[in-house]
Structure 1
Amino acid sequence: MTITTCVFDAYGTLFDVNAAAAAAAAEPAHAHIADVWPAIARDWRAKQLEYSWLRAVAGRHCDFWQVTQDGLDWALASNGVTGVATRRRLLDLYWELAAYPEAPQVLADLRAAGMKTAILSNGSPKMLEAAVTSAGLAPLLDAVLSVEAVGVFKPAARVYDLVGEHFPGAEQSVLFVSSNGWDAAGAAGYGFQTAWVNRAGAPMDRLYATPHHTVADLTAIPGLV
């Protein structure tokens, strides 16, 4: 199968979801989270994803910004952190998450090889626009696709349908890349070729499908196509 289109998850794959908590903790005004920011970042991400799945199963969709706020509120409470200013700062920083260092060059290499590149994300359109612009990735992407077009979060098949709708005929020539094992598995079950960016060296999720490739970071992606 010849790959013509590389589609990336956004948060945790192209953008470092820990960057907001790390940046806030380095600021004097929020030094009180210097020792707990890794736990805040971990719990924030875990609840953000958990709430997206629960809303999908319950048929209670909201946009990703709402579950991002709800996840943060749980993470702050779990770690004994209070204060409106710190909450606000963490949320503000989430709109300008840093891309992983290798991301721009990987996207540029794929484009130079003639590949179409895109994002397919749970993020809302405004969130994704802000992150892509802040990281300077806009010129390297052919499309930024949000689940808001179908009103349900990944790994619902309707989300993966968006790729074929935007790139007609590309369904059989897609490499889908995600740092979330469940997302890479969901896309594999849908029918895409998939690569799981397993930065943490986590075990494989036990699901109905498995990713076709496992890589340590994004630098390996051009070699797969």
Structure 2
Amino acid sequence: MTIKTCIFDAYGTLFDVAAAAREAAAEPGNEALAGIWPKLANDWRLKQLQYTWLRAVANAHCDFWEVTQNGLDWAMEAAGLSDDHLRQRLLDLYWELSAYAEVPAMLAALKAAGMQTGILSNGSPAMLDGAVQSAGVGDVLDDVLSVESVGVFKPHKSVYDLVCKRFGGTPDQVLFVSSNGWDAAGATGYGFQTVWVNRAGEPVDRLPWTPPNILTDLTTIPELAGRL
């Protein structure tokens, strides 16, 4: 079945979630973060995701900005950091995450090939709008879909349902791309064609579904989409 729509997770897939901690660590006055920012960034992201899963199974939804703040608070406490100014700076930078270097050209190539493009994310609409505008990729995205319209986080089926409701077609006409192995696995089980962007070289998650395509970055997505 020909791919008609390419859908991307946002955080960690198109946008570099480590950028906030990395940039803050390089700023004067944040020397306490300089030597530990990679661990803080990793802890922040892990807790952010864990809280989405726990809220989903507990039917205790909140928007992604709340779990983003909760995750940062846990990561800062674990690192022994108690600095309200630093906390606010990290949160401010999260609204301005940079895109990975290959993202603009990759999205432009998909559009040039006549494909629909979009984001499907746990992020709140306001957060996603900030990231898209900051990265300058709004003109190569047809839409940005947030879980807030269904009130539950990924990998709930109702989140993946949003794609075909918005873009039409069938799940096997969608190429879904995520840097989260669990997200790519969930989308595979849903019926999408999938790619796991495994930038860190992590092991495959032990789940009922395995994404059939694993890449180290997004550069060859247009080529892959054209072959499927």
For 2:205, give the aligned amino acid.
D
CA–CA distance in 2 between the matches of 1:37 and 1:125?
27
2:16 paired residue number: 16
1:192 paired residue number: 192
2:165 paired residue number: 165
Identity of aligned residues (%): 66
- Measured after TM superposition, the shift of residue 84 of structure 1 is 0.3
CA–CA distance in 2 between the matches of 1:209 and 1:23?
36
| Mapping 1:34-53, distance limit 5 Å | 34-53=34-53
1:111 paired residue number: 111
CA–CA distance in 2 between the matches of 1:123 and 1:203?
25
SS for the counterpart of 1:131 is helix
Moved more, 197-206 or 163-172: 163-172
CA–CA distance in 1 between the matches of 2:7 and 2:164?
11
SS for the counterpart of 1:205 is coil
- Measured after TM superposition, the shift of residue 170 of structure 1 is 4.1
For 1:77, give the aligned amino acid.
E
CA–CA distance in 1 between the matches of 2:186 and 2:172?
15
1:26 aligns with 2:26: yes
C-alpha offsets along residues 158-211 of structure 1, whole Å, 9 cap, x if unaligned? 000000110122433000000000000000000000000000011100101110
CA–CA distance in 1 between the matches of 2:136 and 2:80?
35
C-alpha offsets along residues 27-70 of structure 1, whole Å, 9 cap, x if unaligned? 00212110111111000000000000000000000000000000
2:57 paired residue number: 57
CA contact (8 A) 1:5 1:170 kept: no
TM-score normalised by length of structure 2: 0.98
CA contact (8 A) 1:122 1:146 kept: yes
TM-score normalised by length of structure 1: 0.99
Structure 1: gaps spanning 5 or more residues? none
CA–CA distance in 1 between the matches of 2:91 and 2:216?
28
Moved more, 163-172 or 79-88: 163-172
| Mapping 1:112-191, distance limit 5 Å | 112-191=112-191
CA–CA distance in 2 between the matches of 1:149 and 1:212?
29
2:102 paired residue number: 102
- Aligned length in residues: 225
| Mapping 1:71-90, distance limit 5 Å | 71-90=71-90
Structure 2: gaps spanning 5 or more residues? none
CA contact (8 A) 2:171 2:193 kept: no
SS for the counterpart of 1:214 is strand
1:7 paired residue number: 7
